[in-house]
Structure 1
Amino acid sequence: MIQLINSEKDNLISAKLSDKISKKDVEKIHSLIHNILENHKKVDFYFEMEDFEGYTLKGFWEDIKVDSAHISDYGKMAFVGEKKWQEWVAKATAFFTSSEVKYFDLEEKEKAMLWINQ
């Protein structure tokens, strides 16, 4: 599930991720990406993962399609999590994109918000 978090930064998608991400969740984020790109060159992301289990199969496939279409539109990405595999996902994301990607432990979420808002 994706729960959007209010952000003061115009080109930032900020969200809490929990349970599993569905196709519908990814479609919601995809429409936000398009809205931001109408006025900005890049989209930044802040993802706070707590009790996050990954994706449904359809959600994963939809995310791959969205990322393939917009990978050059992504700016900074902050991943905030509680598990080692989440840190590995952040590192893998950094490998496949030219975006600046950082992982923060859950107790560092204020630090992550400061970094993404710079």
Structure 2
Amino acid sequence: MLQLLEFTHNNIIATRTDTMLSAAGYAKILPLVHNIESRGKKVRWYFEIDDNSILDESYCSKPATDGDYQLAFPRAAAMEKIAIVATEKWQVFLTVIKGIAPNADVRCFGLQDRKKAMKWIEV
């Protein structure tokens, strides 16, 4: 389930999930994305993936460059920065995120580097 974190402020959306990112989960933050865009800003997304989450590698096996996610993840062009905070097994998920938001600066951080990721997303 996608959870909104207290770190959310200004043009930063901070979330934590214990499941795979889905269109339904993304839909939860879509109103925040629209609000940030309406103020003329780009979205910076701190996205933490719980270590106990189960990774379905088939989810990440198909390149996401063909526009498949355009309908499922609207407003991807609004993304400026995305910090993925997760264990190493989730780094394969980076390919999916880069396909969803190809113009965003996407970086991975280990769970031990949460503070570093938060600092990066703010700058």
Provide the TM-score with structure 1 as the length reference. 0.77
Q: Distance in 2 between matches of 1:22 and 1:74?
A: 17
Q: Any idea what SS the aligned residue of 2:120 has?
A: helix
2:93 corresponds to which residue?
Answer: 89
Percent same amino acid among aligned pairs?
A: 28
1:18 maps to amino acid: D
- How many residue pairs match? The answer is 110
Q: Distance in 2 between matches of 1:11 and 1:52?
A: 27
Matches within 5 A, 1:1-118: 1-7=1-7, 9-21=9-21, 24-50=24-50, 51-53=52-54, 64=69, 65-67=71-73, 69-84=74-89, 86-94=90-98, 97-118=102-123
Q: Deviations over 1:7-66 (max 9, x none)?
A: 3641111011113556543221112111111113311100111123369xxxxxxxx324
2:106 maps to amino acid: V
> Higher helix fraction: Structure 1 or Structure 2?
1
Question: RMSD between aligned alpha carbons?
Answer: 2.6
> Higher strand fraction: Structure 1 or Structure 2?
1
Runs (4+) off by over 4 Å: 20-24
Provide the TM-score with structure 2 as the length reference. 0.74
